[in-house]
Amino acid sequence: MTLNPADTSFLSTLRAALPEATFRPVAPHYLEEPRGRWAGQAGAVLAPACTTDVATILGQANSARVPVVPYGGGTGLVGGQVYPGGPAPILLSLERMCSIRALHADENVIVADAGVILADLHDAAQAAGRLFPLSIASKGSARLGGLLSTNAGGVNVLRYGNARDLCLGLEVVLPDGNIWHGLKRLRKDNAGFDLRNLMIGAEGTLGVITAASLKLLPQPAAEGTALMVVPDPRAALSLLAKARDHMGDGVSAFELIHRTGLEFLAETMPDQRQPFEAMPEWFVLIDVGLALGIDPAATLEALFEDALQAGLVSDGLIAQSQAQRQEFWAIREMIPEGNRRIGSVSSHDVSLPLGVIPQFIEKAAEVVAEIGAFRINCFGHLGDGNLHYNVFPMPDQTRADHTAERDRVKQALHDLVHSMGGSVAAEHGVGRLKVDDLERYGDPAQLLAMRAIKSALDPNGIMNPGAVLRSMT
């Protein structure tokens, strides 16, 4: 089928149906993505103020067969928010739909527009004495609709799950302009197919999420953070098991960090305070949230002593204040920025069964070395099996020197991940970056079902064409 551009005639039709405030200048930031892999385009940027206006936009676009690219906070790392080629699309931003619609503290539920920024969700929950636990480095700019559309993960998946696990209901505008009023606060609802979970993770290819009802949780009575030096990833996994033995579900985050991450911070941000006098080869960041009456520092100290006797750790730091907790977390949260400043040859967001992670890290280094000399920064959410395995040029080179090797590095590592029962799209999604990977590694029956669903809900192919699935045009 053929898609048409958002031309002057089409925009005139929209202007007659929408408030003038809906129309935004096509500013450069709408056409960029953080890694600089693609430059987007847009015939117009529309920022509706309500769900009814979103429905009008999609209904008109569907009738005219004009592509629509939903835009959240623009923080996605796989190109799902940009449309680099084809007819100029409508870029649909929900930045004006940013209200907390309701907060039911006794039910542990918050209802919010899709344009709400994650940090504002955190603040609203905290003001009610509750916790919304989804947290990522871009929480100050990422918006709820994008987080749900990519099924975002982050640092607390170990304890609280992905975005999918925190969502009770959705309001969604379907490609033909019909509104699905699924904004329920129910924890049990088996009335038919689960459209909520179909829309979550669809990356804007099946409709536009306009609001969500979300789970809140009680705030932990006491929180603690520690850095512990481990000899290798295998020991880190054993330490994770011990942490769970000591604290059960009280372990909120368990992050594996390699020396390279600290070296990059020292190289690009020398003012950033380093946690250890001598950089360890591997260490973990452990974050815990415990019940009333349990001292996190004492509990972490007991864990360290137990692990020290078992030969799993050799050094450690336990935060003695909230300020020190924030210092520890700052190290972890600045690592992606250090990576960005160095400039990766190829970055990989992968997940693996926990038991094979040490073997993967060993084999992956061998696979990369067969292609050439590179630096590797391997870090991530060990507690849920999600690694960020990023390959960088040597100090006297830049990533531009390795353009010819980028695809070889990516395929070799993704082949290894697939052979070990992992996924090459752990928490960043598929977007445009990994469409080929989905076709290469995806189960044929799964792909057939996905294409059938896409065709049924979006027969004209207007919704984010070319993202997740190859465009039908």
Q: What is the pLDDT of residues 255-307, one digit of tens each?
A: 999 999 999 999 999 999 999 999 999 999 999 999 889 999 999 999 999 99
Question: What values do phi and psi take at 63, rounded to 5?
Answer: -65, -35
Region(s) of the chain under CATH 3.30.70.2190? 222-329
Report CA 391 to chain centroid distance, whole Å. Answer: 20
CA-to-CA separations, 2 to 12, 155, 361, 437, in angstroms, rounded: 21, 42, 45, 25
Burial class of residue 265 in the structure, from the number of CB atoms within 10 Å of its CB (0-12 exposed, 13-18 middle, 19+ buried): buried
**Domain 8-95: top CATH class:** alpha beta
Beta bridge partners of 23: 46
Region(s) of the chain under CATH 3.30.43.10? 8-95
Region(s) of the chain under CATH 3.30.465.10? 100-218
Check pLDDT > 70 for residue 130.
Answer: yes
pLDDT in tens, 182-200: 999 999 999 899 999 999 9
Mean pLDDT confidence for 81-103: 96
Name residues whose C-beta falls within 8 Å of residue 425's C-beta, 6 or more positions apart in sequence. 78, 349, 434, 437, 438
Confidence of residue 1 (pLDDT cuts 50, 70, 90): low
pLDDT in tens, 459-473: 999 999 999 999 865
Reading the block at residue 340, the tokens are 């960005």
Mean per-residue pLDDT of the chain: 95
- pLDDT value at residue 428: 87
Among 468, 414, 453, 457, which Cα is nearest to 180's?
A: 457
Among 206, 181, 185, 217, which Cα is nearest to 108's?
A: 217
Reading the block at residue 309, the tokens are 């006797």
Region(s) of the chain under CATH 3.30.70.2740? 343-419
Q: Is the model more confident about 136 or about 97? A: 97
Q: Cβ(141)–Cβ(22) under 8 Å?
A: no
Residue 19 has, within 13 A of its CA and on its CB side, a CA count of: 10
Level-2 CATH architecture, domain 100-218:
2-Layer Sandwich (3.30)
Q: Is the model more confident about 75 or about 214? A: 214
- pLDDT value at residue 77: 86
Beta bridge partners of 44: 90
* Rounded CA separation 171/182 (Å): 5
Mean pLDDT confidence for 47-54: 98
Mean pLDDT confidence for 325-340: 93
Check pLDDT > 80 for residue 76.
Answer: yes
Rounded (5°) CA angle 361-362-365: 85
Q: 10 Å Cβ neighbour count for 131? A: 20
Question: What values do phi and psi take at 86, rounded to 5?
Answer: 100, -175
- pLDDT value at residue 261: 97
Burial class of residue 9 in the structure, from the number of CB atoms within 10 Å of its CB (0-12 exposed, 13-18 middle, 19+ buried): exposed
Mean pLDDT confidence for 8-18: 96
Check pLDDT > 70 for residue 436.
Answer: yes
Q: Cβ(353)–Cβ(420) under 8 Å?
A: yes
Q: What is the CATH number of domain 343-419?
A: 3.30.70.2740
- Taking 3-state DSSP, the helix, strand and coil percentages for the chain, each rounded to the nearest 5, stand at 40, 20, 40
Reading the block at residue 114, the tokens are 């899709």
Mean pLDDT confidence for 396-407: 92
pTM over the 0.75 mark: yes
Report percent pLDDT > 90 for the chain. Answer: 93
**Domain 222-329: top CATH class:** alpha beta
- pLDDT value at residue 225: 97
Confidence of residue 38 (pLDDT cuts 50, 70, 90): confident
- pLDDT value at residue 37: 83
Mean pLDDT confidence for 15-19: 96
